[in-house]
Structure 1
Amino acid sequence: MRRMRFTPPGYGGQRRDPEQVKREGWLEQGILAVAVDDPRLTWPERELVEQLGSRLYGPRPQGEVRHG
C-alpha cells in the first residue's frame, strides 16, 4: 500500500539555507548575490556593491529597508 503524498515527487524536504544558495550560485554559475549592508564587508566593499548595483540596475529608492 502506498502512502498518500501531499507534494509532487522531487519537492518538499529540507529548504536550503540562503547562504548555501548564494555560495552555490557563485561557485556553479558565477552569480554573486550580496546585500549592500552585509556586516562581513568593509565600508569600501559596501560602497563598491552600492555603486555596482546602481550602475547595473539603477539607484535604490530612498528609505529602502536594510537587511539586518
Structure 2
Amino acid sequence: MRWHPKGYGGQRRDPDEVKREGWREQGVLAVSADDVRLTWPERELVRQLGERLYGKREREARHG
C-alpha cells in the first residue's frame, strides 16, 4: 500500500472535470479557443477575449 499526500500521486482527474468544478465553485472559466464543441462564432469570441485580456498568442503574433 502506497500513501500519497492529498493532491499528489494517485489517480489524475479528467481535465474537463477540473474545468467544470472551477466554473461551478469559483466562476473561473477555462476554455480552449479550438474546442470543437463550440461554434465558430463562440471560438472567435473566446479568441477575442483572450487577446483583449492577455495579448495575442505567440504563434499568431509571429504570423500577424
TM range (shorter): 0.7 to 0.9
Instruction: Please give the TM-score of this superposition, normalised by the length of structure 1.
Output: 0.76
Q: Which runs of 5+ in 2 are unaligned?
A: none
Q: Give the one of 23, 26, 34 matched to 2:23.
A: 26
Name the structure with the higher helix share: 2
RMSD across aligned C-alpha pairs, in angstroms?
2.0
Which contiguous aligned blocks of 4+ residues in structure 1 show a shift greater than 3 angstroms? none
Larger radius of gyration: 1
**Match of 1:9, as an amino acid?**
P
Task: Name the structure 2 match of 1:60.
Answer: 57
Report which structure shows greater RCO (CA 8 Å, sep ≥6): 1
Q: Which runs of 5+ in 1 are unaligned?
A: none
Q: Percent identity?
A: 70
Aligned residues: 60
